[in-house]
Amino acid sequence: MGPIGVAVPSALSQLTRPQQLYLEGNTLAGGVPGKVMSRMSSLRYLSLAGNPLEGTLPPELGDVRVERNPGEKCRNWASRT
């Protein structure tokens, strides 16, 4: 059985100029979609802690400081905090 929660909403791609985005504790599941994050070129900090996320961070996050999910399913998160 996979993680219980909702996917990272594609509507976030409409936020084109955020500098900080706090999404912790929202039961977001699955992965972080690069397509959604690619439009946020001004983003410098992203908090996803407390969500049952899986996979790797997309390269579109580039130099964004990411507060990682405390779970063990995210592979390349430790180097991004």
Q: Per-residue pLDDT for 72 more than 70?
A: no
3-state secondary structure of 5: coil
Report domain extents, the chain: 17-81
Confirm whether pTM is higher than 0.85.
no
Alpha helices in the chain (DSSP H): 34-37
The region, left, alpha or beta by phi > 0 then psi within -120 to 50, assigned to residue 56 is beta
Q: Exposed (0-12), middle (13-18) or buried (19+): which is 79, by Cβ within 10 Å?
A: exposed
Look at domain 17-81 and name its CATH class.
Answer: alpha beta
Q: Per-residue pLDDT tens for 16-71? A: 799 999 988 888 888 888 888 888 889 999 888 888 888 888 888 888 888 765 54
3-state secondary structure of 76: coil
